[in-house]
Structure 1
Amino acid sequence: MFDPSRNDVRTFFCEAASKRTSGAPLTPLEAIAADWIAEHPEYADDLSDAERARSATYTAEGGRENPFLHLSMHLSISEQIAIDQPRGIKQAFELLSHRRGSAHAAQHEVMECLGRMLWESQRSGRPPDGEAYIDCVRRRATS
């Protein structure tokens, strides 16, 4: 199982950003990451220096969203949709994306559902509830 460290994740996104900027060849996963990086130009400075990125701290008190967590969630959701895992996420996402008129906006809403599922799992000590996650996305797609 793939279990990257915080530094691995930050290095990965910084390298994907650098390759995207320079036009260097990207691996398939880097290409997906680079597409999300392009959607978030506000993260350019965070991704421009891998050394600084590895030591950066993002706290709620600091008032800044963690760009690496945000991009990681985009990447995770993209992979979930591609393989329809948990089962039903692809259809629920497509419905939400159509309703919102934007895959990016839909991903942000799915991100809210994913974050809630993970928080509830951590709080309860139980495994993540994929059905509750899909239900959350479906509710957003039909409201």
Structure 2
Amino acid sequence: MARPTDYRQEYAEQARKLCLLGFTDKQLAVFFGVNESTINRWKQKYPEFCKSIKSGKVIADAQVVESLFNRATGIEVTEVEVRDDGKKKVKRVTKKHIPPDPTAQIFWLKNRQPELWREKSTVANEVKIETSPISSIFEQSK
């Protein structure tokens, strides 16, 4: 007789929210107090659980991609500062340009166009095999 499942319907929404925070399947397993293999079984047995995990991961990945893109290309940001001098509140709005980040550009290019931007290491090995005078004596005696 098989043990009843620990899965509950509310796990689907909890898993989605955790995946939005970047959780992996292994981290989900720790959160739910089960093995990673159990998470994989739940994904197969409960389509809503699988769908919620995929949904959370897709959204989280898209946010990271957008952030990386903004770092690589530069971005305009608006900062709002509110100061209270005791008599009145003063609101100051400032637009700032954050320049492109070369490290983000390199990362982007190496991963998006590896055939053009990958650092290629070429190693040339030359092996010269010479016969020793002793080996040539043995060859002659055969």
Normalising to structure 2: TM-score of the pair?
0.24
**Higher Rg of the two aligned structures:** 2
Higher helix share: 1
Higher strand share: 2
